[in-house]
Structure formats: C-alpha cells, structure tokens
Structure 1
Amino acid sequence: MNIRSALLAASFLAVAQPALAQEELGEDTILVTTIRQAYSGDFAEREVPRSIAVIEAATLQDNNITRLTDALDLTASVSRQNNFGGLWDAFAVRGFSGDENLPSGYLVNGFNGGRGFGGPRDVSGIERIEVLKGPNAALFGRGEPGGTVNIVTKRALFGETAGEFSASYGSFDSFRTDGDLNLALGQAFAVRVTGFYENAESFRETIESERWGMTPSVGVRLGEDTTLTYELELIRQDVPFDRGIVAPGGQLDLIARNTFLGEPGDGPIEADATGHQVQLQHEFSADWSLLVGGSYRETSLEGFSTEPELAGSRQKLFVDGRSLSRQRRYRSYEAEHYVVRAELAGDFELGSMRHRLLVGGDFDRFEHSQLFLRFRPPAVSGNPSDAAANVIDILNPVYGRFPSPTPGPQTNRLDTQEAVGFYVQDQISLSDTVQIRLGARYDDVTVTSLNRTSGALQTRSSSRINPQAGIVWEAAPALSLYAAYGEGFRSNLGADAAGQLFDPEISRSMEVGAKFDLADRLTGTVALFDLTKSNVLASDPANPGFALPIGKAGSRGFEVDVNGEIGGVEVLLSYAYVDAEARADVLDPNFSLQINRGDRLINIPRHSLNLQLAREFMLGDSTLRLGSGVQHVGKRLGETATTFDLPAYTLVRAFASWQPSENLELFGEVRNLFNEEWYANSFASLWVQPGAPRTASIGIRAGF
C-alpha cells in the first residue's frame, strides 16, 4: 500500500447512524435535519401499492459485502447479467435488464446515477438500498418495468460527532479499509466523510485490482425549516478486463475456473467517476414541502483488453479444441450526466378525503462518447497462423507468446439524450381502510447520434404520457391488499440501416399483492406480477449489422419477501419465480440466431431464493452475533437463441462478530462455505463468468 493510500485510509473514520427527516419541536414548528427521498412521499410501507425490498447497512456489514451486485443478491427478484468483463454493474429486476451495451441504471438519492462508466459501485457510504419493484416508471420515468434500485447514501448529520474505522484481510491477499467521520459544528452545520481503500488479488490467475473512493458531504441548516446538502463522489478503480472462461459445446468443466484467457500485458482498465449532488429542502408547514436539486457526474473508462472471438468462422477453438482465437480491443469511453429536478409534496383534506400529492419535474441530459478500436482474427478458412489469430492454448496458456496486435478503428461516435419530464401523483384516502393512487408522467426525449468518423448526424424526438393507478385495502390491522398498473418508456440509442433512430421501448406492468405485519416483529410482501415490453431491438435479417425495433418480451412471476424476528432469531427471506421470455419470432441481434416466441431471456433463473438467519448472545458484558445464509439460483440460459445453460447453484455463507466493548468489534465471514463451483453470468459460451470458490475474511471495527 503506497503512502497516498495509507493516508487516505487513516483519514476515514466514522459512524453510520440512521436519521429522521425532521424533528417535531411543537405544534407548528418543524426542524429539518436531513433531506427526504424524492418520489417517496409520506407513506407507511403498508400503504404503498407496490413491493419494496430494503437492504440495510447492518445487513451489508454482517455479510462483509462491498459491491452493489453482491448486495442485490440478497433480493431474489434481482438477477445478475453480463457485467462487461467485471467493469460495471449489470442486473435485471423481475427479468428485465435494459440495454446490454450500457451499465444497469439505478438511482442515487433519487437522481439517475447508474449511467456511465465509473466501474462497479462500492457499498461504502451507503445507508440502505431500496429495490422499488413494480409499476414505478410513470413516476420515476425512463426506467425498466420490473423496478428501480435506489441507493440512499450516508449524509451529514446535525448535532452529532462520531466516527468508525474498520480494516479487514481476506482470501487471495485482499486488504480493505473503510471509514466514516461525522463532524457537527453546532446545530446548523455538519460535515461527513465516508470512504474506502481496497487492494486485492483474485482466484482468477494474474488478476489484481486497486480501488479507492470517498463521498464527503456537507449539511447546512439555513433556517428552522430549510436544509441544504452537498455531496461529492470520487471513485478511482484499476481493474483488469476479464471475460472469464470458455465452455465450447457447453463444456463448463473443460478448463479450471481460475484460468485467465486474456493478456496480463494489457494492464488494467482505469474506471473513474466524479459526481456532485446538491439538494435543498424547504418545509412550508407540517403538510407541505419543496425539494429541489441537481446532480452532475463525469465517468470514464480507458484501456486495452484481449478477449475470445465469438464468431464461429474466425474461431480456431472450434477446429482443434484448444487454440482460442482472440480479439484485441482498446476502449476510451466517457460520459457526462446532468440532472435537475424539483418536487412539491402536500398532505391536505378535500371534502371528506385525505390527499397526499406529489408534483414534480426534471431535466436529464446524458452524453455518451465512444472511441472503440478493434483487432479481429482472420477467418479459419484461410488457415491463419497462431500469431495471426492471436491464439492462446486454453489447456496450457502461455501469456505474451506473440506481439500484441494493434487494434484499428471500429467506432467513434457521440450519443446524446435530452429528456424533460413532469409528473403528478395523488394518493386519496376514500375511507379509513381504502386508498387509491392515481398518477401520470409526461416525457419528451430527444436522442442525437453523431458519427465522428463520417460526420453524419441523426436526431429523433419522441414524447409520451404514461399513466399509473393503484389501490390499497387494509383488510385487517396486520394485513393490506393492493393492486397496481403502470406504463413507461425508455429511449433506444442507435440507428437502423436507413439511418433512422429508433422509437423508445414501451412497457406495461401489473402487480397484485398482500403485505402483512405480525405482532410488529415480522413483516412481509407477497406479490404476483406481469410485465411486457415492445420496441425491443432485434437484428435486421436483410441488413446484417443493423437492427429493427421489432422485438417483444414479457415477464411474469411470483415473489415473497419477509423480514423480521422469530423467537429472538432475525430472519431475512426472499424468493422469486420469474418466467421471462421472448414474445416475438426474431433474429438475435448479436449472432443472427433465431429467437422464437417463448424462448427464455438470457441470465434469468426461474427460481431464486435467499434465506438468512442471525442471532445475538450475551457473553457477560460482551455481545456475540452469529449468522448464516443460503442463496439458491436456478438454471439460466447462458447464450441467446441456443440451448447453452448455466447450471443451478446453492451457496452457503456464515458470519460472526464479537463486541467486547461498546466501541470495538471483531468480525469474520466465510462465503461459499462448501466450495461449490458456480457461474455468475454469461454472454455466450465463450464469455462465461465463474464464481469465486470458498473465501473468508476477518477484521476489526472501532468507533468513538
């Protein structure tokens, strides 16, 4: 660890404490202490006509989870997708993942924050993760119909000075420090700094990564009813590009799961993110408030990679069973993302009915710059040499065997999306037990694509009103039933063979469910859902290399989420059945293979389960916490329009912590306890991501 990293780690001290949005000081006085979440309104969870799963910071800490993707594994309706060689987060909610050529979108404190190329999201500085499932697009806009992930960050707290620091060491020489420091300067000003440093090798040969980040925030109370917050995000990551292993003919056991098939000499890919968020909240009264804010985020990804060639006509592996032909690529991706929004929330009586109103608008601009260079091996029909095909022997890999090929021009373009949206939502209490939710969102989106090589510029605009509706019935004090419907759309980037940009994807989602609360100790949601999307891009049979918006897809399923305590044992249960399929006969846009109506969508298991149990024991004046969890993921399609499947897997984990005093804790965890061979995701049989074997870590956490 270098001096810069050591100083950085030593400066990260902190505490993670939940905060209320406001304190009531009297009948007419409200003291604002933190910024509330956009789009959420003032509702108890049982009043919301959709399923919500919340992953708290304490759960992340129990399992020593450091990545967003690992955290989302705790929610069964979220499944892993192709993660671009480990360079971004990719997941599907209820079977839908969005554009496979971009990272999965998510919100950060209500702002669109997942777009861009800043590398996988670390959980440092996260207070909780909300998986907002169901018909949300009419409110949030420009999202997937399966749901939206919202990350709530740890922000400056007024009136409290405290800190916490942790350090851990684990398998494959992984070292990590985390910390958080909150400084309250009086009752009107606070500063908070969270951050991490990590240096780790991997079970994958030659792979080593270095990552660090910090998210300082400032809170200023401008008056008893007005609060201003600012948050900075700085993330720097050096991670080698790794497409995983190959499984020609579906043979997943052909090579060891630690075999790296790229070139260590390519060096790491550098992924950086710098972001800013500013929000102002003003309470007009106990019933009316205004939230305005803006965000700006720059991300970049740059470096070389060597990857298996997927085209069968260029792949020598399919000839002799061991000589893997490889591409060499250079990427320089940059993105800028601006968001401005405002939201008014009100709670009032009209006639004999209570109305809880949200009215808001936002402006979103996303610029995506791509410089992509590529070398491809020649066709095997010409009997190229191993050097010409950039071959590596998968059974006896030798790195640096040939000089690295020089990639040539492939793509140089700038895509820009500008969107303006307005939304309104009103939840009306028809009686003490029945509420209805009505809302709509209007979006106007303009997409521009500039081919910087040819100078060709294309522009397409579209607009749409997306409605939503829901009903909640409190059938009993501990049981509420609900139903919801919503529509949404998301713009598609790219153009067809005639140079015309695409219409946006159109989605519709329906959900019915029940929420229960047993003795204030065990809460849960049971839901049935049905989702559809149209204008999904598919390949143009008459113009290879181009696409047409003729694809359709659907997803239906059942899920259960339970959280609480039974007999002193903490329980976290999540199960999902998801049947996601194509609903049109089209050609696969990647390999021109036939997709038939009813074919499964890639990387979506039909059955997923996560169960975790934990309990605390008193040992004199100290506290011992023990827990264990199991995750099951069913068989998944591993390559579109083929019969290649990734097998089901079941992983067991265990964790423990001992707190000998109030401010000191020792902790440890073991993942994949029984060392099962498993595969996290794939794009094709030659791009398969193996999961880690048994790993363990131990650490210490101190606070003040």
Structure 2
Amino acid sequence: MMLHTKSTASLMLGVSLSALLSVSAFAQDEQNGTRSTFLGVINVTGGENPTAPLESSVAKTAATSKTSRTILETQSSVSVVPRAQIDAIGATNLASALRYSAGLITENYGGDPRFDSLYLRGFNLENDKFLDGLRLMRSTQFPTSAPSFELYGLERVEILRGPASILYGAGTPAGLVNSIQKRAQADGNFSEVGVGFDTNSSLSTFGDVNRVVNEDFAYRLTGKVSNERTDVHEIDNKRLYLGLSASYALGDATELEFMGSLHKDKPMTPTGVPDSFVGVYNDKDLRDFYFGDDSVDDSDRTMGTLSAGITHEFENNWKLNGTFRYTNHDWNYHSMYLDPATGSSVGRGIITQDESFSALAADVRLSGEVDTGDVTHNLVFGLDAQKLREKAYTGFSYSSAIDYLSPTYGGLSIAAPWYTANKNVDATQVGLYALDELALGNWRATLGLRQEWTDQSGANVTNFGGTTNFDRRDHQATGHAGLGYVWDSGVATYVSYSTSYLPQPGVDIENVALKPTHGKQWEAGVKYEPTAFDGLFSAALYDLRETDRNTTVFEDIGGSTISGIRQIGEAQVRGLELESAAEIADGWTVKSAYTYSTTEILAGLNSGNELANTPRHAASVWLSHTFASGTLEGLTLGAGVRHIGTRYSSDANTLKLDAVTLLDLGASYKWDNGLVGRLNISNVTDEAYISAIGLNSAYFGNGRNIQASLTYKW
C-alpha cells in the first residue's frame, strides 16, 4: 500500500507552532498508483491528484469543487494556477499569482504587505479567501480583509466563480479563491534551498524538504525568511514562515494527517498619496514617497494554525473524511493615514489597532457511489461548523502634517484619540449539505442543497456613534443545479444556477436586525480539453444578481428626519470570461484570459451607476518557450501582457481610473547539477498608474521591479 501522495505543506517555528490541515478527501489516481490527502476531493475520475505537485502549467482537476469530477465536467467556472505558473510569472503573493486569471482584478492598492486585494465579478473578496477548503479570516464581520498567506508555502491557487454557499456557506455571490498548501509526498525524497532579491531591496532565503520515512509515514518542512519591500521601501514586511506537514497511514484504509503553519511578520500599512497631488506632481516621485513616519509605523502580527484530519475508506467504497483546525491570529499595529492637503502640506493621523481572533473549524463528509438503473450517483453528505471569537480595539488620533516639498520625520505631536472602538464578537456557524453528481452516458448533472445556521453575539462600542449590536441569528437554504454534456471529442457544455447569502451586521432604520444579502446566478459555458496536446480552454457567460443590499435613507419618523438603512438595494453583473492554459508542442506554453463585464446598480443608493473596480474589458496573455535541446537547452524565456480597462473607483462613479497596459518578462535556466536561476521583470515600462482611490488617498499600482533567485534542488 502506498502512503497518501499528497500531504500538506506547513510551517512551524519555535516561537509559535501553526498547523494547517486541509479539508479532506481521499482521491486515488490509479494511473500512477498514488494516494492523495485530505482536501475535499473524492475519487477524481481519471485525473491528477488536485493537491499534488504538478510539473505542468495545465491543471485538469480542482480540490475546491469537493467532488469527483474533473474541471472539464464540472458545471461551474473553475480555474487553477499551479506552482509552475506561479514561478514562471515571478509572483510573490496571492494577488500577483492571479494576474493572468479571468474575471479577477488584483493588486488594487499596489504594494500592500498586509492583504491580497482581489475583485471577482464585481465584488470584493476580502473575506472570501480559503486555505485548503476552510475560510482564512481575521474577523467575523464582512468586509474585513483576510491576512496574506506566504505564497512559497502554496502548491496551487484555485478560483471558483459564482455563488458557492452550497459548499462553503456565507459569502459574496462572486465566488472565492482557495489556496492549496504544499503537502508531504510519499513518492520520494526531495529538497531545495534558495535565495532571492529584487530592485526594491527585498531579500529572502527559503527551503523545502520532503522525506519518506517508510511506506506508511512521510513529512515535509517548508520555510522562508524574507523582507519584502514595495516601491516605498519603508512599507515592507519582515516575515518568518515555517511549516510542517506529516501523513501517517494507520492501515490499508485509514490515514491520519497533521499540519502546522506559522507566520510571524511585521506588515506595514501603505498610506497612498494625497489624491489632490495626482496630476500636480510627478507620478513616479509621488509613488516612491514615504508619507508615514518611522517613529510611528509599527506592526507585529502572528498567525498560526494547527490541524488534524482522518480519512477512512469502508469496504463498500464509501469514504469518511474529517478535518479539524484551530486558527489563532494576533495583530498589533500603528500606522499613519492621510487627511486633506493644503498646498504641499499633508495632514496626517494615526491608526492604532490591537486585534485578536481565534477559530475552531471542522468539515466532515461521507461520500460514495450508488447506481439507479443506468444512472450513476456520486453522493456527498457533509457537515461543517465554525466557532469564532474576536476582540479588537481601534483608535484614531490626529498628528503632525508633512510637507511633501520639504519633508521632515520624527518629533511628531500626537493628540489623544478622537475616535475609539472596542469590538467583541462570538459567532457559531453550522451547515449541512448534500450533493448528487449524476451521470447517464455522456450527460452530467449536479444537484446540491445546503441549510446553514449562524448565531452571533457581541457589540462594537465607540465614543463616536454609540453601540452597534451584533446579536443575531440567521438561517438560510442555498443550492446549486447544473446540467452538462460531454462529447467524446473533449468538448463539454453546461448550464447552471446557484445561490448565496451573506449576513449583515447592525440594524435597519426601524432598529430591526438586518437580514442577509442574497445572490443568484445563471451561467452557461463550454470547455475543451484537446487530445493532441496538454491544454484546457473555457468560456463562460453569466448573469449575477445581489439583492437586499444596504442603502442609507432619510425618512420622517415621529416628526423628525432620521437616517438609517433600508435593504432595498440590488446590483447586477453580466459578463463573458474566456480562459486558456496549454502546453503546445516544441516547448511552448500559453496562459491567456479575457473578461467582458457590464455592471449596474439596479436599486438603492447610486441606482443606475456601475459597480466599482470592474472594467468593461480586461485581458492578459503569458507566452513562454523552453529549449529542450541544442546550446540553449535548459533555458526558458517568457513574456506577458496585461490590460486593465477603465473603471470607476467607487459605486458613486465620481472618479474614473485610466486604462493601463503592463508588460512582464521572465527567464529561467536549469543546470544539470540541480541549480535553477530565475529572472523576472514586472511592469517593464515602469507605468505609473492609479489602481485605487480611498477617502483622501490615491494608490499607485506597482512600478517596475526586477527579481532574481537562485535555487539548488536535489
């Protein structure tokens, strides 16, 4: 018997043990005789293990769907960015890894070491990021950005587009991003160590070691020490990442897995630049200017996870998978924010944040196959639950201004906080779900239903607006239905309908607890998996709506005009997404994407406007060539172009961001002795462009950066 081929990669360090184990499943790849680990996929028929290392840039399976079907036969829009593609484009964080994916607008705030900013199908995915199928978060309150996870610790990144509440509970109707950690491998020992640097003065050292102790036990250690800098060198992140993954086969039918992950880092907060300065002063000078102050800016963040999972295969080929995870996140920071400028003098304030978050999560599934006549049913019955607790203090204080033309640092005057908030929240979420994947000849269908219950208590107490009561109970049924047909030629077509919901904190104008927002989507698509070469092509048309959106209104109640919330808002997003990943003959590889979308706020505040940060057109293509023989054998050359069309900076549609086209280059060389050298240049022409606009600040996209690394593998 072979040990789980795909165990989890994690991180562990003396100061803090973190562990992360993924959501489970037990997939077997009978073609190569390997066994996968817990990741929510059960018997991927005829496909590669969706948690395993993949040499190719083309993935045919995805763990995110939690089912037995390949991407080709799945009646949803799903795409995967494998490690090979991540390395080829020189990605350093989650947002940059998704630059070449359809439907996504990434890096909206430029270089931000704290979070990965992602917009998908018109919606902000701040709290819709998952790690091995379990939500990665730092607050129960939407929207609050999930902390960034070290990209070096990931095997692949997956995107599931459209409402996904059937599998993952509460969330936006746009979909989610699921990161898959590196996992212990049972098919052999391997190691690598390396160093990296870039023209922003970033430095890193990293290593990855996998060992097979015997046929039943394997483990993997992964680690990285780095200081990642942005265009503003003071805005950096000193990070230590360590992890451990171990898998142990208790017998022919049972496997136990443990995972740990630790992030110990100091991510600084970008201030942006005064929006009134844009177009007045040189863009590149503004982009590189430090509007903060070292005497104030400080950050100390620790995130750890500890997981355990078990998979058992019964004699009747039914399987039971269980994953249990504890997450702890503590973050204390001080940072500066910008107030309006007067002349060249920029007003500033200080944010003080002290937050802690902990979560217990579990996902348990029973899966198996049943035949009814000529119809085969792959069934999944699941229970997932989370127990969440958070506590946070926030303070805002006025401080000294800075003169852009004659800056001085230090010696700041700091006033007492003019705003304070203390938040305490306890929340529980429990969901029951069932999926039936039907197959009749070449026909495929999916039916899914979920019932979820949430119970939340707590409040946010401020000195400015009183108390916001978070006490509430919600329950919601969501579902998914799909119908598809798979031709023998490798073409598959489908149509699907899915729903979602998202609880809202606070009360309406009548002091009644807000109900959740609701999402629904129709999607039709076609996919093609050629037989002549390794590739996957997809096209998806969708019509997505969110109802019950919060809208601020002014009404006459009791003889007085008061303001409050009515849930009368509605928004619609329609679009076309084209995506391809292929390894063509003679060493050519291509990854391309095109997105066309139209958005409209149908009712409520800003009715008639477009949704923020959603361009009508976006496109990208990455093309590379590997020389397999001759004097250039071992050399790979690549180039990419990314275009982001014009889009509004907010739902108010008062400011429009210019379109931008960016060029990227990459090269790598593999020596026979195990050395691998890599060079990447992002934004080759050093375009200076605004990627987002906040209250008083504008944010530039990342400028040109040249990265180099040298890795030794054995």
TM over 0.5: yes
User: Deviation at 1:87?
Assistant: 2.1
Question: Out of 590, 600, 609, which is 1:581 matched to?
Answer: 600
Question: Out of 614, 628, 633, which is 2:624 matched to?
Answer: 614
**Once the two structures are superposed, what CA deviation does each residue of 1:324-353 show, in whole Å capped at 9, x if it has no partner?**
222222111221122111111212211221
Structure 1 counterpart of 2:517: 505
Structure 2 counterpart of 1:304: 334
Question: Out of 221, 231, 241, which is 1:203 matched to?
Answer: 231
Q: Secondary structure at the match of 2:688?
A: coil
Query: Structure 1 residues 303, 115: closer, same or farther in 2, change over 3 A?
Result: closer
Structure 1 counterpart of 2:684: 673
**Once the two structures are superposed, what CA deviation does each residue of 1:384-423 show, in whole Å capped at 9, x if it has no partner?**
xxxxx73222343333364233324521011233111001
Q: Secondary structure at the match of 1:216?
A: strand
**Once the two structures are superposed, what CA deviation does each residue of 1:92-151 show, in whole Å capped at 9, x if it has no partner?**
2211125xxxx4322211111244577322211211111011343222221222212111
Query: Structure 1 residues 226, 581: closer, same or farther in 2, change over 3 A?
Result: same
Provide the rounded CA distance (Å) in 2 between the counterparts of 1:88 and 1:252.
Answer: 29
Structure 1 counterpart of 2:324: 294
Provide the rounded CA distance (Å) in 2 between the counterparts of 1:561 and 1:679.
Answer: 26
1:356-395 aligned at under 5 Å gives the runs: 356-376=378-398, 390-395=400-405
Structure 1 counterpart of 2:543: 530
User: Deviation at 1:212?
Assistant: 1.7
Query: Structure 1 residues 417, 495: closer, same or farther in 2, change over 3 A?
Result: farther
Question: Out of 353, 358, 374, which is 1:331 matched to?
Answer: 353
Provide the rounded CA distance (Å) in 2 between the counterparts of 1:638 and 1:606.
Answer: 13
Question: Out of 514, 532, 544, which is 2:526 matched to?
Answer: 514
Question: Out of 346, 371, 374, which is 1:349 matched to?
Answer: 371
Sequence identity (%): 24
Q: Secondary structure at the match of 1:365?
A: strand
1:172-321 aligned at under 5 Å gives the runs: 172-204=200-232, 206-248=234-276, 251=279, 256-285=286-315, 287-309=317-339, 315=340, 317=341, 320-321=342-343
1:334-483 aligned at under 5 Å gives the runs: 334-376=356-398, 390-400=400-410, 402-429=412-439, 431-451=440-460, 458-483=470-495
**Once the two structures are superposed, what CA deviation does each residue of 1:430-458 show, in whole Å capped at 9, x if it has no partner?**
x3121211111101112222246788865
**Once the two structures are superposed, what CA deviation does each residue of 1:8-52 show, in whole Å capped at 9, x if it has no partner?**
9xxxxxxxxxx99436599xxx97452343552211222110111
Q: Secondary structure at the match of 1:209?
A: strand
Preserved contact between residue 287 and residue 348 of structure 1 (Cα < 8 Å): no
Aligned residues: 651
Question: Out of 92, 102, 106, which is 1:66 matched to?
Answer: 92
Asked if 1:555 is matched to 2:554, the reply is: no
Amino acid at match of 2:72: R
User: Deviation at 1:282?
Assistant: 1.3
Amino acid at match of 1:639: S
Deviating more after overlay: 480-489 vs 242-251: 242-251
Provide the rounded CA distance (Å) in 1 between the counterparts of 2:277 and 2:270.
Answer: 21
Q: Secondary structure at the match of 2:471?
A: strand
Structure 2 counterpart of 1:570: 589
**Once the two structures are superposed, what CA deviation does each residue of 1:127-186 show, in whole Å capped at 9, x if it has no partner?**
111101134322222122221211111111224221111211211211112221111110
Asked if 1:51 is matched to 2:86, the reply is: no
Structure 1 counterpart of 2:5: none
Question: Out of 674, 693, 698, which is 1:663 matched to?
Answer: 674
User: Deviation at 1:91?
Assistant: 1.4
Amino acid at match of 1:528: L
Amino acid at match of 1:346: G
Unaligned segments of structure 2, at least 5 residues: 1-12, 15-24, 42-64, 140-144, 556-560
Structure 2 counterpart of 1:385: none
Provide the rounded CA distance (Å) in 2 between the counterparts of 1:276 and 1:560.
Answer: 38
Structure 2 counterpart of 1:492: 504
Q: Secondary structure at the match of 2:494?
A: strand
Q: Secondary structure at the match of 1:675?
A: coil
Structure 2 counterpart of 1:22: 28
Q: Secondary structure at the match of 1:266?
A: coil
Relative to the length of structure 1, the TM-score reads 0.87
Query: Structure 1 residues 121, 539: closer, same or farther in 2, change over 3 A?
Result: farther
Amino acid at match of 1:647: D
**Once the two structures are superposed, what CA deviation does each residue of 1:226-259 show, in whole Å capped at 9, x if it has no partner?**
1111111100221221121122286475652112
Preserved contact between residue 599 and residue 611 of structure 2 (Cα < 8 Å): yes
Amino acid at match of 1:392: I
Provide the rounded CA distance (Å) in 1 between the counterparts of 2:491 and 2:146.
Answer: 42
Query: Structure 1 residues 147, 642: closer, same or farther in 2, change over 3 A?
Result: closer
**Once the two structures are superposed, what CA deviation does each residue of 1:488-537 show, in whole Å capped at 9, x if it has no partner?**
11112234466543211111111101001223423211000111112223
Relative to the length of structure 2, the TM-score reads 0.85
Query: Structure 1 residues 234, 69: closer, same or farther in 2, change over 3 A?
Result: same
